[in-house]
Structure formats: C-alpha cells, structure tokens
C-alpha cells in the first residue's frame, strides 16, 4: 500500500539523517576536522595575539603622562623646555635657578593624550593636570595663567596660527586612539570566529581594517603634531625654547599600528586561504577524508542489514 511504503521511506530517510549526524560528530570525523583546520586555527590565534600586543601598547599610549611616576612620566608626545626662555619684560632680573622659574613658569611642560605635566629640572614632575576627555594642549593659555603679573613672553606667530588646527587634530587623535584601543580589545575575542567559516572572514576583515585605519591616523596625527610643535617653537632662536619629541610615545603608537596591520593582512588572506570547519562539513574541502573515515567507521562497527540480507538469501 502507498501509506506503508511512504512510512518506510520516511523511516529510511530519518535513519540516514541520524546516521549522517552521527558520522559528522564521530570522534574520527572530529579529529579530521581539527587536523584539516589546524592551519586556519593557528593563524587565527596569531592574529589574536597581535591584537593583544597592539592593545597593550595602545593602553600605554592612553595612560602615558597621566601621572608623574617614573614610568608614566616618561611617556609623552612632546616636551617643552622653558628653563632659559627669554622674557619680554624685566630683563634685569636676578636669576636664582632659571629664567622660567623667576617668571613664575616651570622649567618644562610635557603633553600626553589626556593632560599635561609640569616640573623643574632639579625636582622632576611636580604637577599633572586632571585627565580630561578631548583635552588639547594650549600653550598660550597655560603660560599666561602661570606668568607673574607684568611678565610676558613673545611667543612666535606660528604658534598662534596653528592653535585652531591643533585643537581639531587633538580631538581627532583622542577619539581615534580611544576607538582603536576598544576595537583591538574586542578583536582579540572576535578573531577566532574565522575558524568556523569563511563567511566570518569578511566582516572580521572589515573590522580589522577599521582598527588599522584608526590606529594609523591617530599615530600619524600624534607624530605630525609633535614635529610641528618642535619646529614652530624652536624656529625662533632668540626665544631660546627647546622642544623634545616623546620617542617612547611615538614608538608605542607605531608598534600598535604594526601589530594591527599584521592582523589585517592575516584576515585578508583567510578570506580565500586555509580550510575552515564549514568547508570540511560541506565537503568543499576534505570531503574524501570524511568519506573514508565514515567507511572505516562502518567497517569497524559492522552493519546488521547486510548480515540479515545474507541470512535471508541462504534461507
């Protein structure tokens, strides 16, 4: 009858589905999947390690110069040395320690991402301003607030001209550094998803590219800002202001860019290279290995149906 036949076909298909499910989750097939996807898994772990290293260096950039400690106090974008600055007024002052201290200024000012620190050459850092979101360094305002009444300093016109650009660039740099730090941290855990399917490689690669662009633009702005400040302030030889670029801060930021770039290259390559778990399960790659494993598993476990057939033929 049609109905029993229909039932038999359903049960047969159901048994095949159960059999395929068991074959896909058998220890032999799991071992094959792990072996075929080993390269992709290892490469994904390398990218996660690169993101972790980039995150560490970005954190050093973020917390640099926030405190006057020996470690954090040495991480800054640039440092202004005003110890021997030439004042516009009171030219006949009796100098005790430095011209800057006599005018009410500190010997040096160094700039970080969140704040600035000031201090004296013989004492080190004595004060760091409170870390503030979207902070930017305005040397004119800071120097005017600390000068004694009646004292003034002839700052070069180039400094006043670049303040507006400095404000915009500082805000962009702050936002990009913070965004790249957060994104690199998330990518540590997102990167291993590419092991499961090639479809994950494209969105993960896009996120990796965004992280790379954010870190690169932020590092480029920080480097350019430091070099421009150094050139603008030291171009006036009669003012006697010295400026020093913070090598550690710039090195840390560019190292983070380098590790993020390596991760981006890895994810770009994973879009078309290395076998994923989905490739093995769908038979796109490694299908013959899975078939052989299934056949061997059936041979080892044995099948009741063929033996039943032999018995029935003998009878």
Name the pTM for this structure: 0.75
pLDDT in tens, 51-108: 999 999 999 999 999 998 889 999 999 998 888 776 655 454 444 456 777 777 888 9
Distance CA 38, CA 277 (A): 10
Q: 269 pLDDT exceeds 50? A: yes
Instruction: Choose from 1-5, 75-79, 192-196, 311-315 the range with maximum mean pLDDT.
Output: 75-79
Work out the mean pLDDT of the chain and round it to a whole number. Answer: 76
Question: Could you tell me which residues are beta bridge partners of residue 109?
Answer: 80, 118
pLDDT at 199: 72
3-state secondary structure of 131: coil
Distance CA 96, CA 152 (A): 19
Rounded mean pLDDT, 229-257: 85
Mention every residue, 6+ apart, whose C-beta is less than 8 A from residue 258. Answer: none
Q: 287 pLDDT exceeds 50? A: no
Q: 148 pLDDT exceeds 90? A: no
pLDDT band at 277 (very low <50, low <70, confident <90, very high): low
Distance CA 71, CA 13 (A): 69
Share of the chain above pLDDT 70, in %: 63
What is the β-pairing status of strands 124-128 and 108-111?
A: unpaired
Q: What angle do CA 37, 40, 46 make, to 5 degrees?
A: 140
Structure tokens at 258: 């380098």
pLDDT at 273: 67
Judge contact between 127 and 119, C-beta under 8 A: yes
Q: Taking the C-alpha atoms of 84, 86, 87 and 92 in order, what is their torsion angle to the nearest 10 degrees?
A: 90
More confident residue, 129 or 91: 129
More confident residue, 128 or 15: 128
Question: Could you tell me which residues are beta bridge partners of residue 81?
Answer: 108, 242
pLDDT at 83: 80
Rounded mean pLDDT, 12-29: 47
More confident residue, 235 or 284: 235
Structure tokens at 12: 């047969």
H-helix or E-strand containing 111? Answer: strand 108-111
Rounded mean pLDDT, 173-190: 95
Structure tokens at 112: 């970080």
pLDDT at 126: 92
Rounded mean pLDDT, 18-24: 42
pLDDT at 103: 74
**At residue 73, what are phi and psi to the nearest 5 degrees?**
-70, -15
Q: 7 pLDDT exceeds 50? A: no
pLDDT at 301: 52
Residue 211 CA, chain-centre distance (Å), reads: 6
Judge contact between 241 and 93, C-beta under 8 A: no
Return the half-sphere exposure (C-beta side, CA atoms, 13 A cut-off) of residue 131: 11
Q: 313 pLDDT exceeds 80? A: no
Q: Counting beta carbons within 10 angstroms of the beta carbon of residue 51, is it exposed (0 to 12), middle (13 to 18) or buried (19 or more)?
A: buried
In which residue are the tokens 């200024």 written? 105
Structure tokens at 255: 């190292």
Distance CA 64, CA 61 (A): 5
Instruction: Choose from 181-195, 213-227, 287-301 the range with maximum mean pLDDT.
Output: 213-227
How far, CA to CA in Å, does 70 sit from each of 8, 67, 124, 172? 80, 9, 9, 28
- The candidate with the shortest Cα–Cα distance to 252, out of 209, 212, 223, 211, is 223
pLDDT in tens, 209-239: 999 999 999 999 999 989 988 887 777 666 6
- The candidate with the shortest Cα–Cα distance to 219, out of 189, 248, 171, 252, is 252
pLDDT at 119: 92
Distance CA 141, CA 103 (A): 15
Q: 31 pLDDT exceeds 80? A: no
3-state secondary structure of 278: helix
Structure tokens at 101: 């201290």
More confident residue, 247 or 146: 247
């Amino acid at each position: 009858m049609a109905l029993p036949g229909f039932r038999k076909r359903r049960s047969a298909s159901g048994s095949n589905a159960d059999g395929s499910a068991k074959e896909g989750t058998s220890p032999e097939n799991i071992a094959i999947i792990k072996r075929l996807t080993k390269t992709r898994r290892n490469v994904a772990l390398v990218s996660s390690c690169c993101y972790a290293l980039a995150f560490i260096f970005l954190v050093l950039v973020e917390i640099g110069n926030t405190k006057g400690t020996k470690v954090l106090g040495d991480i800054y974008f640039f440092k202004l040395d005003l110890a021997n600055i030439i004042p516009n007024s009171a030219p006949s002052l009796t100098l005790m320690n430095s011209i800057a201290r006599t005018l009410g200024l500190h010997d040096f000012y160094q700039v970080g991402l969140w704040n600035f620190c000031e201090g004296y050459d013989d004492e080190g850092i004595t004060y760091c301003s409170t870390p503030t979101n979207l902070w930017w360094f305005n040397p004119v305002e800071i120097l005017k607030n600390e000068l004694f009444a009646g004292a003034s300093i002839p700052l070069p016109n180039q400094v006043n001209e670049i303040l507006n650009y400095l404000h915009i660039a500082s805000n962009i740099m702050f936002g990009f550094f913070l965004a790249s730090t957060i994104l690199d941290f998330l990518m540590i855990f997102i990167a291993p998803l590419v092991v499961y399917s090639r479809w994950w490689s494209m969105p993960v690669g896009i996120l990796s590219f965004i992280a790379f662009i954010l870190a690169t633009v932020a590092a480029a702005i920080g480097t350019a800002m430091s070099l421009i400040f150094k050139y603008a302030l030291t171009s006036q030889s009669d003012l006697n202001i010295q400026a020093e670029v913070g090598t550690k801060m710039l090195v840390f930021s560019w190292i983070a860019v380098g590790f993020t770039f390596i991760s981006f290259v890895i994810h770009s390559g994973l879009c078309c290279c290395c076998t994923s778990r989905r490739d093995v399960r769908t038979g796109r790659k490694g299908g013959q290995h899975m078939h052989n494993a299934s056949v061997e598993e059936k041979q080892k476990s044995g099948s009741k149906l063929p033996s039943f057939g032999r018995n029935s033929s003998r009878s």
